[in-house]
Amino acid sequence: MLEVGTLAPDFTLPDKDGNPVTLSSFRGRKVVVYFYPRDNTPGCTRQACAFAKAYDAFAQKNVVVIGISKDSVASHQKFAQKYELPFILVSDPELQAIQGFGVWQEKKNYGKVSMGVVRSTFILNEEGVVEKVFPKAKPDTNAAEILEYLG
């Protein structure tokens, strides 16, 4: 998993409308990149809704919020419409950003071991360098913790 002080790997991935989103295009602004396992699951939905509720506070601070999972563009579009998500959701089925940030890891669920996305959040500074990492982000408090950190 990327550590504080590391330059985040650049990526260009499609958003919920199929438009390309390039991470480096946001240089000059802080960026919150959060990785989550799957659209429309209870924890991921709560986390996305918490970011949506806090979206105006992020916008006032000129902070970009990007949510990333390996779900399809179509899945992201439905997810965003259903919960009125105002921030950027990008689709990463080839695990480009997911592996680049080091969040594709072994997970244990009911004793079964599998590979998957570890719910994690990164705050990138204006130069695209990792400023803060939330390695095991909690769905209900992650957005508030980030806002508190940003002051």
Active-site residues, by number, are: 44
- Specify whether the CB–CB gap between 4 and 149 falls below 8 A: no
- Specify whether the CB–CB gap between 20 and 12 falls below 8 A: yes
The distance between the two most distant Cα atoms of the chain, rounded to a whole number of Å, is: 44
- Locate tokens 């006032």: which residue? 60
- Specify whether the CB–CB gap between 150 and 133 falls below 8 A: no
